[in-house]
Amino acid sequence: MNNDTSNEKTTNQSTETTIFSKQQDRRRTLSLSEQIAEHIGQSILQETYLPGDAVTEQRISDEFSVSRGPVREALRILEREGLVEIIPRHGARVTRLTVREVSDIFDIRSVLLGHAASLAAKRRDEMCLRVLKEGCEALTKNCEGADDLDVHCEVSAKMNHILVERSGNEKLSEIVTHLARQIARYTRIGLSTSERRKDSVNSWRELTLLIEAGLDDEADRLERQRVREVRSLAIKLLQETPE
């Protein structure tokens, strides 16, 4: 391979390495229990484990070729996040989705993310804006192509992450991160229709413009509205789902 070809390949790889791929680097710093919790959490979000399903320590131990200690701690992490419940002498089960929980959680989330959007508009952070614009393009490309729910949720989650992370408020970031996986289950429901995903793309584009223009009050209002719309559809679909 000549130097020009090698340099071109390196340049292309550099261009493609955005915040979305760099996000994966975080996994290298996780403890074993946290890695297992993340794996189980993703399985719950992608409905490999359904509400009410048992999550057995032995099965996870065998899958990861580890002792039960790290698995037990991973399940405690997921219990704190609301994804599983540990029943004495029966083990862990995936928690069931409820209208009350989605209403309560998204009430909190709308305030938190609205405040994050307001702070983002005041700061007009360069990295935050770059990632939001990249995210908008990725969401648009997905909607116009495969319209994959997993892709939309993943990109949207990372956009929310950068919005909060670059807000300058560490406590805000900690609270939103703690609720992230629990909220993600309901967000998937709220984004489960093609029409809602298209609305989501438009909302993200409008929010990005407001943040770039420094319109903090407008960004706050729009972000709260965006979260409430996801909540409304999630509640509607949950109510239509048989017990």
* Residue 83, SS3 per DSSP: coil
**Which residue ranges make up each domain of the chain?**
28-94, 99-240
Give the pTM: 0.79
Predicted local distance difference test score (pLDDT) of residue 243: 60
Predicted local distance difference test score (pLDDT) of residue 47: 86
Phi-psi region of 242 (alpha: psi -120 to 50; beta: other; left: phi over 0): beta
Q: What percent of the chain is helix, strand and coil (3-state, nearest 5)?
A: 75, 5, 20
Backbone φ, ψ for residue 220 (5° rounding) = -60, -50
* Residue 185, SS3 per DSSP: helix
Q: Which residues of the chain have pLDDT under 50?
A: 1-28
Predicted local distance difference test score (pLDDT) of residue 16: 33
The 10 Å Cβ neighbour count of residue 28 is 7
- Tell which residue, 169, 114, 160, 113, has the closest CA to residue 135: 160
CATH architecture of the domain with range 99-240: Up-down Bundle (1.20)
DSSP calls for 30-58:
S-HHHHHHHHHHHHHHTTSSPTT-EE-HH
Match 């709220």 to its residue by tokens.
190
Which of these CATH numbers, 3.60.150.10, 1.10.10.10, 1.10.40.30, 3.90.1150.10, describes 28-94? 1.10.10.10
* Residue 93, SS3 per DSSP: strand
Rounded to 10 deg, the angle between the 32-45 and 68-80 helix axes is: 60
Predicted local distance difference test score (pLDDT) of residue 177: 87
Predicted local distance difference test score (pLDDT) of residue 151: 95
